[in-house]
Structure 1
Amino acid sequence: MSEIAAATVHEAYAFACMRCGYGWEQAYEIQHHVDSSGSAFVVYTADGERVPSPLSTPTCVNCGGHVVRIMRAGRVSTVQQLLKPPQATAGGQETPEEMSVATAVPAAGPPARHWQLSDLLRPFHRR
């Protein structure tokens, strides 16, 4: 099959497994091709490896489940950053971002809970 035209697009997606709650993000290089007979086809690559389309049959990289929610990039990393404990900078001073997160959480109270993505998505599950 002879290739006539190709266009490359870079896209990233966030994924959340509805089975185990694992969340991750992946960037893709998407190559749109048209062969000599005029048929269009798409090739996805991630980290230099050819991969199947993440939009057709997403699979959880943690448990292998196929009930995976696809979201725009940045959704998972934003939640993961909010769940990290604030760290002091080299001078012992907190950055403005860390201060706003620190003031939003009361200093005294029950111990911090480790939240999983499945906990955050629980209100959206159907019973």
Structure 2
Amino acid sequence: MLDGFETREMWPYECLRCLYVWEEEFVVRRLCDAYGKRAEIWLSAGVPVQPPWAGSSCPSCGAHHLTSFPSGYLARHPELVAEPEPGPAPVFAPAPVSWPDSAPAARRSKLPGRLLIAFGVPLVLFLGYELYIIAAAHAGH
């Protein structure tokens, strides 16, 4: 024989990719069997789903990088909730990379060479000086 109860929980989320904010309602069935073993069944719209902290995705962009707020947070901060409900999630495609300065590729490709010079030249000079000091100390003996 199972013993248990149901509760309704609201989980507010924010997508860390597109910054969309929304709230989802879950029904949680907490059950306990005759042996004292406990289980939770999470339901969304009557369908069993993963718990809210596992496997959620943004309804706006489909990203899985989300954060959640404390229960009741969005009721206290209605300015965070977007007005229109999003349509179906688009197929995920990587966003094109845009460089802030819109520099041509030829100008950007010189950066690794400049870094090599900026770090390599002082390193070579320092090592050369140390080798010179060691060689001079051994020549003096």
Which is bigger in relative contact order (C-alpha 8 A, separation at least 6)? 1
Larger Cα Rg: Structure 1 or Structure 2?
2
Query: Could you tell which deviates more after superposition, 72-81 or 53-62?
Result: 72-81
Deviation for aligned residue 1:17:
0.4
* Aligned-residue CA RMSD (Å): 2.5
Please give the alpha-carbon distance, in whole angstroms, between the structure 2 residues aligned to 1:34 and 1:48: 20
Percent identity, aligned pairs only, is 20
Partner residue of 2:79? 79
Q: Deviations along 1:24-81, whole A, 9 cap, x unmatched?
A: 1111111101234432111111222222100233322222222111113351770157
* 1:44 to 2:42 alignment: yes
SS state at 1:79 partner: helix
TM-score (norm 1): 0.53
Residue equivalent to 2:117: none
- Give secondary structure in 1 for the equivalent of 2:59: coil
Q: Structure 2 matches for 1:1-127, cutoff 5 A? A: 3-71=1-69, 72-75=71-74, 78-80=78-80
Count, aligned residues: 81
Please tell me the residue identity of whatever aligns with 1:5.
D
Deviation at 1:16, TM superposition (A): 0.6
Equivalent residue number for residue 100 of structure 1: none
Give the alignment's TM-score, normalised by structure 2: 0.48
The residue identity in structure 1 corresponding to 2:72 is A
Structure 2 Cα separation of the partners of residues 75 and 49 of structure 1: 24
* Contact preservation (8 Å) 1:25, 1:73: no
Output the CA distance in 2 between the equivalents of 1:55 and 1:80: 20
CA contact (8 A) 1:25 1:74 kept: no
1:74-111 CA distances to partner (integer Å, 9 max, x unpaired)?
Answer: 51770157x77xxxxxxxxxxxxxxxxxxxxxxxxxxx
Q: Which runs of 5+ in 1 are unaligned?
A: 85-127
Structure 2: which 5+ runs fail to align?
84-141
